[in-house]
Chains A and B, each alone.
Chain A
Amino acid sequence: MDWVFLSELAINGALTGLLYSLFAIGLVLVYKASSVPNLAQGGLTMVGAYVVLALARDLGMPLWLAIPLAAVVMFGLGFGIERVALRRLAGRPVVMILMLTLGLDIFLRGTTLAIWGGTSRSMELGVSYEPLFLGDIFISRIHLVGAGVALALFVAFMVFFRTRTGIKLRAIADDYMASWSVGISVERGVGLSWALASVVAVAAGVIWGEIQGVDQALSLLLLKGLTVAVLGGLDSILGAIVAGIILGVIENVGAEFLDPLVGGGSRELIVAAVLILTVMIRPHGLFGRHDIERV
């Protein structure tokens, strides 16, 4: 085995993995702040990318303006989702909330495509397609940019969850009733978490849209995002980053060995296997909280 080739696989895998983290952070944010699974992140990512494109292409804004503006729009959308849909289901069994977010995902995807059509569009961020060379190793620039964005968001949210608002959000995830009893606005907190997840979705949508085009395939990131989130621990942002890197490396290196054996397309299989193994062996993931039970 060629070491240069192997490290190229690993490094590119890790970078791609960080892009999965970018997606997974949206899941983790909502779970960390409300103990609710957010299976609508795929739909949100798609909407985020399309809103950026709509502002940039249809209204002719420059991208540096369109992206922050889209983030603002999505921030509002996230709050709206809590206000309209989730609030009524607060405290219901997880089945129903799970279904609600799946329904939202389907609705967001359907609506986006009904408005903007299903043909793939390109983001055209203006990042050069020329690969960088690190010694003999090829590295894609856009992946590097995306990984940087993921790490920046990671740092930002680590700081955020130490602030008073962040601590209040974590308190909400722990116990709705106790939060109400000390005057924390649970509704606003959950809304904020969805709003932040929607902003993250813009970032993920832009980066992934640049890599694979803006179309409905963006929502297919859900399985990978979920795997990363679960592997890292559903409520751990650090976990999302570390697990993203791990999954990216396993996927990239594993596929290289497995593909010739099974005739290609083994990436999904690897991801699904990682998800199953994680849940079976260590459901709370690498850094997730154990649920403390005292008798």
Chain B
Amino acid sequence: MFYRLSGVYHSSLISDSRMFKVPADRNLAVFLLLIGLAAPFILPSLYLNSYILPWLIWTAAALGLNLVTGWAGQLHLGYAAVMAVGAYSAIHAVRLGVPWEIALIIGGLAASVIGSLFAFAALRVKGLYLALTTLAMQFVMDWVLTHSPTISGGSHASLQAPTLALLGQQITSDAGYYYVALGWCVLVTIFMLNLKRTGLGRALVAVREKDFAAAILGVNSFYYKILAFAASSFIAGVSGALLVATFYFLAAPEQFSVNVSIQVLAMVIVGGLGSIIGSYFGVALILLVPGLVNGLVVTASEELGMQVNVETLAHIPNAVYGALIVIILMIEPLGLGKLYGNIRDYLMTWPFDQLRK
């Protein structure tokens, strides 16, 4: 009824490989994009900039990790380190007088170069061992960051980001930051949607399923693995730079620590490996729900007149965050994207399937 496939057919390969095969999907995407564009006029800027904006940028970052973990099947526990490379290179470039547009690309490319180093680990090992290696590389990067004052910004280990300026416009308003984040997130999403229907996307999936079988089919898994890491690292680098430019305003090593790497991976897996819409859900869940639950606990304790320990409150979000990962994996190991798919399949025939029963 609401989500229909009837009457939708394709008579050529071109039309069958369109980005949105079902008009309902396309309409939904357009509708959501319109809401996204209108958001600054609807939502108070507090919500906009402290919830929606980080959600968009983290989604872009999570999509980048999804490329390497979901599509190419390579576990990556050092993603935050790659984001840090992008962030620090971009900021240093701007401080040296490079315009932001170019600085973002420099950040992305620098992240690509470092990120490809992770790929060399992926050429040697897979699965658990790759996860451990990338984890160790994350620690090395953390160490380098905190131990080189020239990179991390002197004794306080924090680096002020210069004011963001794009296309000759200084961006200082809340709505401005928001649109930058939205633009980047939409760009990455379109890239990922297109990746699905290109040879590159298919090659990555082949490498994921069985790399040596892919090699027999003539897919150079060596090349595609590096490509996947490089592309994903580029997205990571720019996302990291934008995160500092529009949200943190101050770069510090702990913003890109190992916990953040785990968090991004959690977003991707909870959202669903290889699922684009799932990444949106996953980021929302991991980023926003722990805070919401904490807010609820505070309100509830005030209502009930209970005294909740400050320390308890401080640690509830973490407990909730961990519990969310465990619970989602238990309910649906394929993540929220799969749950969304199930609901969509259900709505496909609803309410007519009720008649049949």
Question: Using a CB–CB distance below 8 Å, which chain A residues touch chain B?
Answer: 37, 84-85, 88-89, 92, 94-96, 98-100, 102-111, 113-115, 117-119, 223, 226-227, 230, 262-263, 265, 268-269, 271-273, 275-276, 279-280, 283
Q: Which residue of A lies closest to B329 (CB)?
A: A100
Number of A-B contacts (CB under 8 A): 143
Instruction: Knowing A92-B333, A115-B312, say if A102 contacts B262 (CB, 8 Å).
Output: yes
Measured between C-beta atoms, what is the minimum distance from A90 to chain B in Å?
11
B312-336: CB near A (< 8 Å → 1, else 0) gives 1011111111111110011001000
B contacts, CB < 8 Å to A: 69, 75, 121, 124-125, 127-129, 131-133, 135-137, 139-140, 142-143, 146-147, 262, 265-266, 269-270, 273, 309, 311-312, 314-326, 329-330, 333
Report which of B146, B318, B319, B326 forms a contact with A85, defined as CB distance below 8 A: B326
Contact in complex: B265, A118 (CB < 8 Å): no
Q: Which residues of B contact A92 (CB under 8 A)?
A: 333
Tell me if B135 and A99 are in contact (CB < 8 A). Answer: no
Residue contact A107 to B311, C-beta cutoff 8 Å: no
Known contacts A103-B325, A107-B326, A276-B140; is A98 also within 8 Å of B128 by CB?
A: yes
Known interface pairs A110-B316, A114-B316, A114-B319. Does A272 touch B266 (Cβ–Cβ under 8 Å)?
no
Q: Check A275 against B325 for contact (C-beta < 8 Å).
A: no
> Contacts of A115 on B, CB cut-off 8 Å?
312
For B269, B311, B315, B323, which residue has the most chain A Cβ atoms within 10 angstroms? B315
CA distance A114 to B323 in the complex (A): 13
> Within the assembled complex, what's the spacing in Å between the Cα atoms of A109 and B322?
9
Q: How long is the Cα–Cα vector from A125 to B317 in the complex, in angstroms?
A: 33
Q: Do residues A89 and B273 form an inter-chain contact, with CB atoms below 8 A?
A: no
Closest residue of chain A to B290, judged by CB?
A110
| Residue from the list B136, B266, B315, B329 in contact with A114, Cβ < 8 A | B315
User: What residues of A have a CB within 8 angstroms of the CB of B262 in the complex?
Assistant: 102, 106
Which residues of chain A come closer than 8 Å to B324, judged between CB atoms? 103
Residue numbers in A under 8 Å from B146 (CB-CB): 265
Q: What's the least CB distance linking A81 to chain B, in Å?
A: 10
Which of these, B75, B137, B143, B318, contacts A106 with CB under 8 Å?
B318
- Nearest-CB distance from A291 to chain B (Å)? 12
Closest partner residue, chain B, to A114 (CB atom): B315
B149 — nearest CB in chain A belongs to which residue?
Answer: A263
A107 near B132 with CB under 8 A, answer: no
B321-A114 in contact (CB<8A)? no
Which residues of chain A have C-beta atoms less than 8 A from B320's C-beta?
Answer: 110
Q: Is the CB of B140 within 8 A of A272?
A: yes
* Given known A109-B322, A114-B312, contact A275–B132 (CB-CB < 8 A): yes
Shortest Cβ distance from A234 into B: residue: B128
Name the A residues within 8 Å of B316 (CB-CB).
110, 114
Nearest-CB distance from A10 to chain B (Å)?
A: 24
Specify which chain B residues have a CB less than 8 angstroms from the CB of A95 in the assembled complex: 69, 75, 127, 269, 273
From residue B118, how far is it (CB to closest CB) to chain A in Å?
11
Nearest CB in chain A to that of B144: its residue: A269
Interface pair A269/B323, CB less than 8 Å apart: no
CA distance A84 to B139 in the complex (A): 32
Q: Judging by beta carbons under 8 Å apart, are A89 and B133 in contact?
A: no
Q: Are B139 and A223 in contact (CB under 8 A)?
A: yes
B314 CB, min distance to chain A CBs, angstroms: 7
Contacts of A226 in B (CB 8 A): 132, 135
* Additional pairs, 14, CB under 8 Å, beyond known A89-B330, A106-B262, A283-B125: A88-B333, A89-B333, A99-B265, A102-B266, A107-B322, A108-B322, A113-B315, A114-B312, A119-B311, A223-B136, A223-B139, A273-B140, A276-B133, A276-B140
